[in-house]
Structure formats: C-alpha cells, structure tokens
Chain A
Amino acid sequence: GAVVSQHPSWVICKSGTSVKIECRSLDFQATTMFWYRQFPKKSLMLMATSNEGSKATYEQGVEKDKFLINHASLTLSTLTVTSAHPEDSSFYICSARWREGRPDTQYFGPGTRLTVL
C-alpha cells in the first residue's frame, strides 16, 4: 500500500509553454501533499505544501505565480509550471502524507524530469 504516482515521468517543452505535473495517492487519501525540486547534483528542496481544498503554502523564494499548485481532491495535486524557461528544468518530486494511525509518514512519488528547451 501507500503508493504515490506522478505523471508524466518526463517532459520536454519549449520555452514559454506551461507544463502540468500530476501527483496521485493511489490507495490512500492525502489531505496534504508536498512538492519538491531537485537541482542537478543537489538535494531536494521543498517548494510548497499543498492542502486539499485550500491554497498552497509556498516556501520562501518560490514564486507562487510561476508554480501553480492545485489540490482538487484527496488523491490528486497538480503542479503547473507556467511560462517555463530553461532555468525551470529540474527534477520535481511530490509526496503525500498518510495519517493512518500516528505518527505521520510521507510517501514519495517517482518524480518528473522537466527539460525546457
């Protein structure tokens, strides 16, 4: 159990276009999902916390108008990179919080590699 999927697994797009990445919890409900970004040869950095039915909370330095997050249901959160540029090329990973029992545990998706040409 506790599987998190991401779609697509990789995407290549032209500069100026928008790209949507989906994160789904397949066998549990997640009121909270998280989006991370990994720069080349760096560790993962939290971008934002996505709460079902409310606005996402962004970390300092992350442009909320650039990275649109929507958590429309208890099993789906989406990250849209708007007007993508080459510097947005990165590896994006989501996680979903599973609150069955205590303590909480986050389960991570496989990641999406974005390349902006």
Chain B
Amino acid sequence: DTGVSQNPRHKITKRGQNVTFRCDPISEHNRLYWYRQTLGQGPEFLTYFQNEAQLEKSRLLSDRFSAERPKGSFSTLEIQRTEQGDSAMYLCASTPGDRVGNIQYFGAGTRLSVL
C-alpha cells in the first residue's frame, strides 16, 4: 500500500463551476477525514466518515459542499458553484480508528485555484 492518494493534485477552475476531488485512503482504514488548508494556516476540519457513515460536518461545510464515501472505501468531495474564497489546499487523511491517539495519515492534497 502506497499511502493515501488524492486526485487531482492541482485543479484550476472558473468561478461558478463545479469541481470534484477524490481520496483513496489506506486499505482497511475505516475513518476518513477531509480538511481545508489556506496559506499560513493549519488544516481546518471539514468532515469525517466512519466507514460509509458521515459522522460530523463542520459549519465551514456550506450547502455547496458535499462529501461521500460509498461502500466505505474511497471518498469524494464536491464543491458546487465555486467561489474565489474556495481556493485552498484540500487534504484527505485516513486512520485505522482502532488505536489510541487517532493517528492520521495524510495525502498530498488537492490544490484548488478558483479564478
């Protein structure tokens, strides 16, 4: 297993367009997280899944954002009607969920630029 994989690595889009990002977690990791990170800041929690169930969503996740994790494997994050303020690095992380300390393994992220 090569770790958490995110695609695409970079996405440039025009304001108003929809975009979708994919995250493939480490096999058998049952918990998956999405974060957003802007320049000079730490990752901001967006949402997380326990298997296929979405257990918590941040208030940062407006109605334009939706995340899915069908069958508890890969996950997608969709942003509809993108705005310039959506420009950020979107990070995905997975964890086995069975160890004390909630150690998360991160992907390299998808950098979104909204023009």
Bound pair (A, B) = no
Chain A residues packing against B (C-beta within 8 Å): none
